[in-house]
Amino acid sequence: AKAAYIIREPIAAAIGADIPIGSASGHMIVDMGGGTSEIAVISLGGIVANTSVRIGGNKYDTAIGEYIKKKYNLAIGERTAEDIKIKIGSAQFLPKEEKLFMDIKGRDMITGLPRTINVSSDDVTEALQNELQGLISAVKSVLYQTPPELSADIMDKGMVLSGGTSLLRNMDKLLAQATGVPAYVADDSLLCVARGTGIALENLESYKRSILSAK
């Protein structure tokens, strides 16, 4: 019979981000996906402190849609909202010369007819304020739970961001400024969990402390 294993998402993300999770020092990973954000501090192959919040890219898209509805009286679809987020979205307000703009189409809420408007990166930053504040609080709550020795390690090495939502412009800067801990987006951050799961499966013996086996 085939054996089954369970690997927790932050552990997989950390392995996929090339974090040496087995070492005694503390590592922080913030995996931000579509549905949830999982924040964990890992040491000696295990999770020392963590939280998971239902804040992710899908909620960002909804928030953008609601903001545009309110401000411009324009209804847009979810795909359009995601498109705006990816093309011009920023977690922090961009400097004047760097602001981004985009024409989008939707349905006018008053006339019911199609209409095109021009939205800016500031619109997105504004729309995401609640979600971003929630994310910052969650990251801080994990830092508060972290034992002092490991906090010092995390301060030295910074937190590593993975998952698709970590690709939002300036997400690293926002988290670094809000917490005082440096933040870096992992290489190929969208693929960290899949890559980490693969590496763990191929090296079961070395990762056995970090994986649960399910019967």
Ligand X SMILES: Nc1ncnc2c1ncn2[C@@H]1O[C@H](COP(=O)(O)OP(=O)(O)OP(=O)(O)O)[C@@H](O)[C@H]1O
Residue 61 has φ and ψ, to the nearest 5°, of -60, -45
Closer to ligand X by Cβ: residue 50 or 151: 50
Is there binding between residue 33 and Mg ion (CB under 5 A)?
A: yes
Per CB under 6 A, the list member of 8, 21, 36, 76 interacting with ligand X is 36
Per CB under 6 A, the list member of 10, 16, 57, 65 interacting with ligand X is 57
Interacting positions 157-176 with ligand X (CB under 6 A): 163-165, 167-168
Structure tokens at 124: 């997105």
Residue 153 has φ and ψ, to the nearest 5°, of -60, -40
31-58: b (≥16 Cβ within 10 Å) or e: bbbeebbbbbbbbebebbbbebbebbbb
Is there binding between residue 56 and ligand X (CB under 6 A)?
A: yes
Is there binding between residue 86 and ligand X (CB under 6 A)?
A: yes
- Do 15 and 46 meet the contact criterion of CB atoms below 8 Å apart? no
Closer to Mg ion by Cβ: residue 36 or 43: 36
How many other β-carbons are positioned within 10 Å of the β-carbon of residue 101?
Answer: 12
Closer to Mg ion by Cβ: residue 100 or 191: 191
Q: List the single partner that 36 binds among ligand X, Mg ion, none, CB under 5 to 8 Å by kind.
A: ligand X
Instruction: Return residues touching ligand X (CB under 6 A).
Output: 33-36, 56-58, 82, 85-86, 163-165, 167-168, 190
